[in-house]
Amino acid sequence: MEHQLERSDHRSQDVPQVLVIKPPPLVTLFEDKFISSKYQLLKAWESTLPLDQFLTTYAGSVRAVLCSGASPITPDIIRLLPSLQLVVTASAGINHIDLNECRRLGIAVTNAAGVFSDDGADAAVGLLINVLRRISAADRYVRHGLWPAKGDYLLGSKLGGKRVGIVGLGGIGSAVAKRLEAFGCTVLYNSRTQKPFVPYPFYSNVYELAADSDVLIICCGLTADTRHMVNREVMLALGKQGIIVNIARGAIINEKEMVECLLQGEIGGAGLDVFENEPNVPKELFELDNVVLSPHRAVFTPEGFIAACELVVGNLEAFFSDKPLLSPVMDE
């Protein structure tokens, strides 16, 4: 092992090293785009060394880390990498990176948010239509042979004319709004600050947004401030016909309170791609025909993965060439 590490160190003098603690899906799918003469991936997950020893071994040479939600970049990790200058995440979300510590130490951070905007927006609208028109429930009704036995299925609701409150008007939220306008919906939104030149009514309070909406679509990031932001009080304000769609992070909604509201008929339904304790999903949701479930795949398509891979490589190329990063994470 020591000889292998020595050979690796010699190679790193010529080839920039990029640390990967656990492989993001795009590395698994498109590793050939990384394994080139340009970069040496330091695959911590393949090492027999404990992680802290592996990081200490490369502490002096690692300037860039590629991560995803499966490999959080914590203060402890950062502390072991004194030469670290760049964290590249292959995801849209950045809640797995300690941004405060990165800012304090001048470590740049990039993400892939823009790449996934269209796919995430398509999925959000798809989940909403599915819940409103009862598409998945009607599919089960037909497949189980209930149509000839029990007759016509329940009617669904139309999308046009609905007041849709978007929580988080970033790239995905803006793409959702654009699609909903085409369906004839009224768009409202909440964010930490009001967006300039946005034509939709702004709500600084999620409770007030819910009270004026028929639908809430969650598109914001998970932070200490947004954790359990959508709670029972917000859901009661949304009302008995109200629909919640979440393609962001599960913990933005108080999941226990949401399940109770659904079971008690205090909200009308939900389209959920994310959950608090993935991959574990509350079993109470399985039997509810007004709930559509998806296994955290809203933003993922083959096309999106290719674009994300190209963006990750582009950010690394820019960094190692001392050029501006393509998708830096900026403070809002």
Q: Which residues carry out catalysis? A: 249, 278, 296
With vertex at residue 303, the alpha carbon angle to CA 300 and CA 309, rounded to the nearest 5 degrees, is 85
Radius of gyration of the chain (CA): 22
Reading phi first (left if > 0) and then psi (alpha if -120 to 50, else beta), residue 18 is in: beta
Structure tokens at 116: 């996934």
- Do strands 108-110 and 163-167 pair parallel, antiparallel, or not at all (unpaired)? unpaired
The structure tokens listed for 7 are 């050979």
For residues 139 and 134, give the distance between their C-alpha atoms in angstroms, rounded to a whole number.
8
